[in-house]
Homo-oligomer: A and B are copies of this chain.
Amino acid sequence: MGSMKVHQLARGFWEHEPSLSLGCKRLRPLAPKLPNADTHSHSTVSAFDLKSFIRPESGPRKLGSSDEKRNSPQVETHPGGTRWNPTQEQIGILEMLYRGGMRTPNAQQIEQITAQLGKYGKIEGKNVFYWFQNHKARERQKQKRNSLGLSHCPRTPAASFTTISLDSRGNQLVAERGEDSPYKRKCRSWTFECLEEDSRSCKEEGDRTLELFPLHPEGR
Residues of A at the B interface (CB closer than 8 Å) are 1-15, 17-18, 20, 22-28, 30, 34-54, 67-76, 78, 81-89, 91, 103-104, 106-112, 114-116, 118-126, 129, 138, 141-142, 144-145, 147-148, 152-153, 155-156, 159-161, 163-166, 168-173, 178, 180-200, 207-208, 210-220
A selection of 10 A-B contacts at a CB cut-off of 8 Å is: A3-B46, A6-B186, A15-B156, A26-B27, A39-B72, A40-B74, A41-B108, A44-B122, A71-B218, A188-B194
A219 & B47 in contact (Cβ 8 Å cutoff):
no
Q: Chain B contacts of A142 at CB under 8 A?
A: 30
Bound-state Cα–Cα, A200 to B183, Å: 9
- Counted per complex, copies of this chain come to 2
A122 & B47 in contact (Cβ 8 Å cutoff):
yes
Q: Chain B contacts of A35 at CB under 8 A?
A: 91, 182-184
Instruction: Determine which residue in A10, A36, A165 has the highest number of CB atoms from chain B within 10 A of its CB, and name it.
Output: A36
A13 & B161 in contact (Cβ 8 Å cutoff):
yes
A215's partner among B40, B83, B171 (CB-CB below 8 A) is B171
A199's partner among B74, B164, B181, B187 (CB-CB below 8 A) is B181
Bound-state Cα–Cα, A109 to B162, Å: 36
With A106-B194, A145-B27 in contact, is A155–B15 under 8 Å at CB?
yes
A26's partner among B23, B28, B170, B187 (CB-CB below 8 A) is B28
Instruction: Determine which residue in A75, A170, A220 has the highest number of CB atoms from chain B within 10 A of its CB, and name it.
Output: A220
